[in-house]
Structure 1
Amino acid sequence: MITSRIAARIEEQYGDDASSVCALLEEAEVRVFHEAAIERITAAVVILAGGSVDKLLDAIRLMEADWRDLLVASGLAHADWPSDLDDIFGAR
């Protein structure tokens, strides 16, 4: 799910392409989860991408292959991940 704080980061990193990035990410989530993913998954993709379209595509491929590996690679596989999201994207 692309929450407002994740959307704000995407807008910051991708500018005019932000809506296309959001659409691409939402389509990938539906392919993998058959619905919008939880914020943690979406955040993991955005963290790994770091504003790069190539890295975004790599992160989406990783999510499609095994979303748990995505969480490990992004540093969000531990129990205190909500705190990390607040630190990275701002508190809700």
Structure 2
Amino acid sequence: MRWVESEFPTGSSEKVLEELRDLPDGVFGGQVPERIQASLVIRTGGDWHVFQQWVQLAHSDWRDALVGAGLGDEDWRIRLDAVLGTPR
């Protein structure tokens, strides 16, 4: 995910990507994995510690992570495209 590499400092971006790859299935709640993964990074400001807080939130309730990141509604793809700056 190029966005993660551009937002997080070198060193922590690799850790973020590893954490995202290693999320257990239960964190996804049957949702599109990209949606949950994006919800964990887009409001972090590139801060590893803030990212860790979002991951803990998702482990507690993935729905809270989606809503908190602004990806809780049906228009989540449009919102994600706006954050990423390019259509997927």
TM-score scaled by length of structure 2? 0.82
Q: Distance between the aligned counterparts of 2:6 and 2:24, measured in 1?
A: 21
Distance (whole Å) between structure 2 residues aligned to residue 70 and residue 78 of structure 1: 12
1:10 aligns with 2:20: no
* Percent identity of equivalent pairs: 33
Instruction: Could you tell me which runs of 5 or more consecutive residues in structure 2 were left unpaired when the two chains were aligned.
Output: none
Deviation at 1:14, TM superposition (A): 1.7
5+ residue gaps, structure 1, are 1-6
Q: Deviations over 1:10-30 (max 9, x none)?
A: 100123222221002222345
| Distance across 2 between alignment mates of 1:59 and 1:49 | 8
- Compute the TM-score of the two structures, normalised by the length of structure 1: 0.79
Contact 2:35–2:71 (8 Å) recurs in 1 = yes
Alignment coverage as a number of residue pairs: 83
Distance 2:71 2:10 in 1: 28
Aligned partner of 1:50 in structure 2 is: 45
The counterpart of 1:59, out of the listed 54, 68, 75, is 54
One-letter amino acid matched to 1:91: P
The runs of at least 4 consecutive aligned structure 1 residues that moved more than 4 Å come to none
AA aligned opposite 2:22: E
User: More helix per residue: 1 or 2?
Assistant: 1
- Measure, in 2, the Cα distance between the counterparts of 1:29 and 1:53: 19
